[in-house]
Amino acid sequence: MKLKLTLWLLGVLLKRALRRKPRFREQLERMRRLDWGIATEDLSVARHYRMTPKGITSEKGLPIDLDLELRFRDQDAALRILRKPTQQAFLDGMVNGEVRLVGDSADMNKLQKLLKYV
């Protein structure tokens, strides 16, 4: 339940950053679009985000047309890593088998640049 709430709250924070933070909007305008999602490996918890300079939507589930997916081994691993989403935390999680990146790692770099402004 904590992970579901955290992912929902992330959507709220992303929408707020789009409205209030010019640097966030600038970065998103450079990218034009980024569709990404977060889920556990068993897909018991999954949420995706579609971000454009005009707006951000957040919904349950994980459609197949996303640019980037972050798959976590379980809810505990996801919460631990998402609380401090540094590049090192993600790298350590990948090495330990707690995080799996589905998609292009360049999209992950774009996402991390955006999340600095949230």
The confidence score (pLDDT) of residue 25 equals 94
Query: In the CATH hierarchy, which fold is given to the domain comprising 2-115?
Result: Nonspecific Lipid-transfer Protein; Chain A (3.30.1050)
- The DSSP symbol for 81 reads H
Q: Count other Cβ atoms within 10 Å, centred on residue 39.
A: 23
The confidence score (pLDDT) of residue 86 equals 80
Q: pTM of the predicted model, to two decimals? A: 0.90
Model confidence pLDDT, tens digit, residues 73-104 = 999 999 999 888 788 888 899 999 999 999 98
Query: Which of 78, 49, 54, 45 has the alpha carbon at shortest distance from 65?
Result: 49
Model confidence pLDDT, tens digit, residues 16-74 = 999 999 999 999 999 999 999 999 999 999 999 999 999 999 999 999 999 999 999 99
